[in-house]
Chains A and B, each alone.
Chain A
Amino acid sequence: MEAPPVTMMPVTGGTINMMEYLLQGSVLDHSLESLIHRLRGLCDNMEPETFLDHEMVFLLKGQQASPFVLRARRSMDRAGTPWHLRYLGQPEMGDKNRHALVRNCVDIATSENLTDFLMEMGFRMDHEFVAKGHLFRKGIMKIMVYKIFRILVPGNTDSIEALSLSYLVELSVVAPAGQDMVSDDMRNFAEQLKPLVHLEKIDPKRLM
């Protein structure tokens, strides 16, 4: 019987840089239903998918002026799924005509002891929140409509309180660097959601 081939070289992570293209907007609670209805029509045909996630943001302070930020996210309603560790770089300041916010992103699936491990590395939790909402897909585009909840007692995800009377809407694509046509496709899709929601490129630095 032929043995399955075992790779001689362990497969190590590629150095392909993945970029996240992002457009954001929001809708008030009372407009949620119409938005979901339109999205169901425009997006890929699939079972309506909801999610309930708990995200923790960790910082590593060094001598550099800006700390290193990592986001650890876990699913609260799907048991047994891996934790999701995410690094997001600074938004690329480039073409003003580019329609979406572009930043380097690294996504890693990990085992459940992620928070203990990050603490051991020297990271400290800066803040946490719960996100609850709906997920849609259209080709490589991901559309999330969700509400952010503040956690009243640190570590206790049972006592949460909504942060606002609206839902955050995010249209994102994760693609290899250099694929700028992606932002054109995203803008075209965003046009179809007007006037229910206006998705635009929001520079996080402007808000601070």
Chain B
Amino acid sequence: MGVTCVSQMSVAEGKSVQQTVELLTQKLEMLGAEKQGTFCVDCETYHTAASTLGSQGQAGKLMYVMHNSEYPLSCFALFENGPCLIADTNFDVLMVKLKGFFQSAKASKIETRGTRYQYCDFLVKVGTVTMGPSARGISVEVEYGPCVVASDCWSLLLEFLQNFLGSHTPGAPTVFANRHDAVYSPADTMVQYMELFNKIRKQQQVPVAGIR
């Protein structure tokens, strides 16, 4: 996959999450982007069960198991600041077997769903981030297909983001800082989504009135 930047779009003043998403998608359609189906990225959190902690003598770690509709046959498992494992979907079956050792924090399943837009070499995905029934924020993912090295195309991506997001343009993702000249991989995108989801989880819930 090409170099990708995942960022959060803040909800517009006096508007709901859904209205802000509509504003963004209208802007994309005016630019001439073509709608190409939908996407979904979800994330479940697991923590080491108390029974295993005692013997390990280390603080419980959080493990994230994520899926991305762009790679329907894969499953991504990662630790914050740790390795990201790319496996096939049987990994979910294994997590069921590991129930006694890793407990799923059911309430913290978070996902983003929305539309995919293709604009020349850019693939833009605008999604509504939801936790359970409530919409918590907006995710924007922009991928520049032709390039796989972050340092080579970050300025181009930034220019496109400024054109599209205006003042809400994000800074360079932290994954770029660590691996400037390395080949970009889907695992880097999943790390960005994990960071986004964690940020949104910590934020105040969007007022209910705004959602309707």
Contacts and interface: CB of A to CB of B under 8 A. Distances in A.
Which bracket fits the contact residues of A?
A: 35 or more
Q: Which among B48, B86, B113 has the greatest number of chain A C-beta atoms within 10 A?
A: B86
Contacts of B116: 6
A13 B82 contact: no
B37 interface: yes
A115 to B, nearest CB: 9
Q: Which among A10, A63, A64, A106 has the greatest number of chain B C-beta atoms within 10 A?
A: A10
B209 interface: no
B39 interface: yes
Contact of A7 (B69, B77, B91, B98): B69
Q: Which among B63, B86, B90, B113 has the greatest number of chain A C-beta atoms within 10 A?
A: B90
A156 interface: no
Contacts, number: 117
Interface in B164-205: 187
Q: Which among A15, A61, A122 has the greatest number of chain B C-beta atoms within 10 A?
A: A122
Interface in A159-198: none
Interface stretch (B5-13, B24-32, B51-59, B126-134): B51-59
Interface residues of B, number: 50
Given A6-B37, A9-B40, A106 B83 contact: no
B92 A13 contact: yes
Main SS of chain A's interface residues?
loop
A36 interface: no
Contact of B98 (A11, A61, A68): A68
B51 A64 contact: yes
B72 A10 contact: yes
Given A12-B92, A13-B91, A61-B55, A87 B97 contact: yes
B72 A7 contact: yes
Given A5-B37, A87-B94, A106-B93, A10 B67 contact: yes
B79 A120 contact: yes
A158 interface: no
A5 B70 CA distance: 11
Interface of B: 34-42, 48-49, 51-52, 54-56, 61, 63, 67-70, 72-73, 75, 77, 79, 82-94, 96-98, 100-102, 113, 116, 118, 187
22 contacts: A3-B36, A4-B36, A8-B113, A10-B68, A11-B67, A12-B75, A13-B90, A13-B93, A15-B93, A61-B52, A64-B100, A89-B97, A106-B90, A106-B93, A108-B90, A108-B94, A109-B88, A110-B85, A111-B187, A117-B82, A120-B61, A121-B63
In the A-B complex, the 4 residue pairs with the smallest Cβ-Cβ separation, listed nearest first, are A13-B92, A63-B51, A6-B37, A3-B36
